[in-house]
């Protein structure tokens, strides 16, 4: 595409519906992400977050309920786990892998890295990777920077170096990209075509924004809207042969009426024939093999011109 | 007491403001149509986010509109044989030329949506931006844009050859905006935020925090927009549906629009047109009075 640094992260046009193939002729990929962060602010998980009813519920009852529902519906998920969380509950986190789920890194403590110097961010990525590896016995292949409820924006916070550092650290995919609704390449350097695979994320399919206690604004309880959004997107993406993703937080979705919403949705989902339900790593490996960047990332030099009085 | 109300000043302001708008007496649509419907797409992708210095994930969210959303909207309109108007930020021509060419090849109208989603305060720079956008759009489409969705100065739009703007909502119906001397200046094709996808589905509208989001779902918006359509249909009116490719290009919303258009088509006399077509009809069949009649209360 006409590449433009600091404007675009990928090529000009997404893959068309008809060009997408899933393994064994499946019709739609289903990626379920469970976010195990309970961070309430940009500093990431702090003691006061741990000493909260939401954390207690999310880590124990809520998580158990979500796991049981996934199991009942024979679904696998990717768990986005902050490194400190993995170290606090090693048996629980190891147990997720034993059940066939994937554990991916969700920062050192799910902190905002957007203003960090490159070396500092690199050190944190390396430390988080090592802490998670210690618990699970295997190196994580996926990284997440999911948003917190209190963030100014609902896309997740990264720095201008994050993607490059994740490539350096050997990560295979980044779990929350917003530029597409199928896996896509996030280019960190145009000249060298350096890129990491991003899996789609969208806040309209993330429970945390529909289940907010209204500190301000119009949050309130909107799990009915969440259900309608999930269903509408699943139906539409299924017809297009594309990709569906949802993001769950046990402390939010595990609660009473919301658990019923999740149950209802998953039983609807599992009735659709020919779904493919990979973990993030399975999906990323399949995509990298089938649609490698070398042949499928179509970058063209910028035709952007700088003018006085205009943005550069 | 009465003096402190500044009644005279308020009256004068009301008169002045009303005097800037000239309504069309009895608006009649061509071929006996009961309603004119303009589907419009504001194509800015990540440019407004970039202009506002928003963080990388916000830009990526906007990029969806260029990679995916615009293509889906073109496909949707083409399937329904509807010609739409794409209000295009000038610099989008340097980022998404393929999509814009595809839109033109399908017969959709390209119109101005500012050079970089802002109107400079400096008059020379405003003119410069307006001309840059017109040149960029003309290069893609082979013709000069005739419409705008912007705060650009109405007299400037007119002197640059624009015939309509689609920006405000002082009336349900197309009407004329007058210049400072009370002469008709430009046709306004009203759009309202209640019929704007971003108000329902886009988080962080002008940096509003997550807890303040106006959450909604496609079933609800389908009902609201259908109600707007039918209310106008019953009185021979007008509807301008404002979409953003990064918002409405999401699969669930394209499916909702598909249902909405299909339902609109079940009624007779729905004129789906480009903004240019509606503007030309108004200008030819309902030209403005040279001078506004005096406003009386």
Q: Which two tokens stand for residue A64?
A: 């158990």
Interface of A with B in 223-252 (CB under 8 A): 225, 228-229, 232-233, 235-237, 239-240, 242
Kindly state the average pLDDT of the residues A144-167.
95
Contact state of B46 with A7 under an 8 Å Cβ cutoff:
yes
The DSSP secondary-structure symbol of A16 reads P
Q: Considering the entire predicted model, what is its pTM?
A: 0.96
How many other C-beta atoms are found inside a 10 Å radius of the C-beta of residue A174? 25
Which of chain B's residues have a Cβ under 8 Å away from the Cβ of A178? Answer: 57, 60-61, 63-64
Does the residue B36 lie in any domain?
yes
Average pLDDT (A224-238) is 97
Kindly list the domain boundaries of chain A, sorted by start residue: 25-296
Q: Select the residue of B54, B250, B251 nearest A153 (Cβ to Cβ).
A: B54
The one-digit pLDDT tens for each residue of chain B (297 residues) are: 556 889 999 999 999 999 999 999 899 999 999 999 999 999 999 999 999 999 999 999 999 999 999 999 999 999 999 999 999 999 999 999 999 999 999 999 999 999 999 999 999 999 999 999 999 999 999 999 999 999 999 999 999 999 999 998 999 999 999 988 888 899 999 999 999 999 999 887 777 777 777 789 999 999 999 999 999 999 999 999 999 999 999 999 999 999 999 999 999 999 999 999 999 999 999 999 875 544 444
User: Are B116 and A310 inside 8 Å of each other by CB?
Assistant: yes
Residue B41 domain flag: yes
Whole-number Å distance between alpha carbons of B26 and B225: 25
Residue with tokens 């993703």: A245
Domain contains B294:
no
Look at A212 and B211 and tell me if their CB atoms are within 8 Å.
Answer: yes
Residue B295 lies in a domain: no
CATH number reported for the structural domain that contains residue B268 in this entry: 3.20.20.370
- Residue whose C-alpha is closest to residue A270's, from A61, A18, A71, A34: A71
- Whether B104 and B115 have beta carbons less than 8 Å apart is answered as no
Is A25 near chain B, with CB under 8 Å? no
| Calpha distance B178→A88 (Å, rounded) | 68
CB A254 within 8 A of CB A58: yes
The answer to whether residue B86 sits within a structural domain is yes
The topology under which CATH files domain A25-296 is: TIM Barrel (3.20.20)
Q: Return the number of CB contacts < 8 Å for A and B.
A: 181
Give the CA count within 13 Å in the CB-facing half-sphere of B61. Answer: 26
Q: How many domains does chain B have?
A: 1
Cα end-to-end span (Å), chain B: 23
From chain A, the residues in CB contact with B71 under 8 A are 13-14
Q: Quick check: is B6 in a domain? A: no
Distance to chain A for B47, nearest Cα, Å:
8
CA distance A299 to A187: 10
Looking at residue B1, its pLDDT comes to 56
Q: Which of A181, A184, A232 sits opposite B255 (nearest CB)?
A: A232
Model confidence pLDDT, tens digit, residues A61-73 = 999 999 999 999 9
Tens digits of per-residue pLDDT, A6-48?
Answer: 999 999 999 999 999 999 999 999 999 999 999 999 999 999 9
Q: What is the ipTM of this complex?
A: 0.96
Query: B186: closest CA among B209, B214, B150, B162?
Result: B162
Q: Which domain holds residue B123?
A: 29-285
The pLDDT score that the predictor gives to residue B294 is 47
A177 Cβ contact list (under 8 Å, min separation 6): A9, A184, A186, A198, A199, A200, A201, B60
Query: Is B14 inside any structural domain?
Result: no
């Amino acid at each position: 595409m006409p590449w433009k640094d600091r404007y675009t992260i990928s090529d000009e046009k997404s893959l068309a519906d008809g060009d997408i193939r899933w393994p064994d002729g499946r019709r739609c990929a289903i990626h379920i992400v469970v976010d195990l962060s309970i961070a309430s602010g940009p500093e990431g998980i702090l003691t006061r977050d741990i000493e909260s009813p939401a954390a207690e519920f999310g880590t124990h009852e809520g998580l158990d309920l979500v796991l049981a529902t996934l199991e009942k519906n024979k679904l696998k998920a990717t768990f986005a786990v902050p490194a400190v969380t993995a170290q606090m509950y090693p048996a629980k986190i190891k147990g997720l892998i034993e059940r066939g789920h994937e554990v991916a890194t969700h920062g050192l403590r799910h902190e905002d890295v957007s203003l960090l110097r490159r070396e500092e961010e690199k050190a944190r990525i390396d430390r988080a990777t090592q802490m998670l590896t210690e618990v699970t016995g295997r190196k994580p292949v996926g990284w997440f920077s999911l948003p917190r409820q209190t963030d100014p924006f609902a896309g997740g916070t990264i720095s201008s170096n994050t993607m490059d550092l994740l490539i350096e650290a050997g990560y295979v995919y980044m779990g929350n990209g917003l530029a597409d609704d199928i896996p896509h390449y996030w280019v960190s350097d145009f000249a060298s075509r350096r890129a990491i695979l991003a899996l789609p994320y969208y806040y309209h399919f993330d429970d945390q924004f529909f289940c907010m206690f209204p500190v301000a604004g119009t949050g309130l309880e909107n799990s009915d809207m969440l259900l309608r959004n999930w269903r509408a997107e699943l139906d539409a993406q299924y017809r297009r042969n594309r990709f569906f993703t949802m993001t769950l937080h046990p402390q939010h979705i595990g609660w009473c009426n919301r658990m019923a919403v999740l149950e209802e949705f998953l039983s609807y989902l599992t009735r659709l024939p020919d779904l493919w339900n990979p973990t993030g790593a399975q999906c990323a490996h399949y995509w990298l093999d089938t649609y490698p960047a070398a042949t499928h990332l179509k970058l063209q030099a910028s035709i952007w011109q700088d003018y006085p009085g205009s943005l550069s | 007491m009465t003096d402190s109300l500044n009644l005279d000043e308020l009256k004068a302001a009301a008169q002045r403001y009303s005097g800037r708008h000239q309504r069309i007496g009895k608006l009649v649509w061509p071929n006996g149509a009961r309603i004119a419907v303009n589907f419009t797409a504001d194509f800015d992708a990540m440019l407004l986010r970039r202009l506002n210095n928003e963080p990388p994930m916000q830009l990526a969210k906007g990029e969806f509109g260029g990679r995916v959303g615009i293509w889906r909207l073109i496909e949707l309109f083409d399937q329904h044989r509807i010609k739409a108007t794409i209000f295009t930020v000038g610099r989008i021509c340097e980022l998404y030329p393929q999509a814009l060419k595809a839109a033109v090849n399908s017969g959709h109208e390209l119109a101005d949506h500012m050079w970089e989603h802002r109107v400079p305060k400096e008059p020379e720079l405003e003119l410069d931006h307006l001309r840059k956008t017109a040149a960029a759009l003309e290069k893609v489409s082979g013709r000069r844009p005739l419409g705008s969705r912007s705060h650009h100065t109405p007299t400037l739009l007119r002197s640059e050859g624009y015939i309509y703007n689609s920006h405000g909502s002082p009336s349900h119906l197309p009407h004329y905006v007058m210049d400072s001397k009370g002469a008709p200046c430009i046709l306004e094709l009203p759009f309202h935020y209640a019929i704007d996808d971003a108000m329902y589905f886009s988080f962080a509208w002008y940096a509003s925090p997550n807890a303040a989001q106006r959450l909604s779902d496609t079933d609800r918006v389908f009902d609201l927009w259908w109600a707007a359509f039918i209310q106008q249909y019953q009185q021979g009116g007008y509807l301008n549906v404002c979409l953003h490719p990064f918002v409405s290009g999401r699969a669930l919303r394209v499916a909702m629009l598909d249902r909405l258009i299909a339902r609109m088509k079940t009624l007779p006399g729905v004129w789906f047109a480009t903004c240019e077509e509606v503007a030309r009809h108004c200008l030819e069949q309902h030209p403005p009075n040279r001078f506004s009649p005096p406003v009386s209360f």
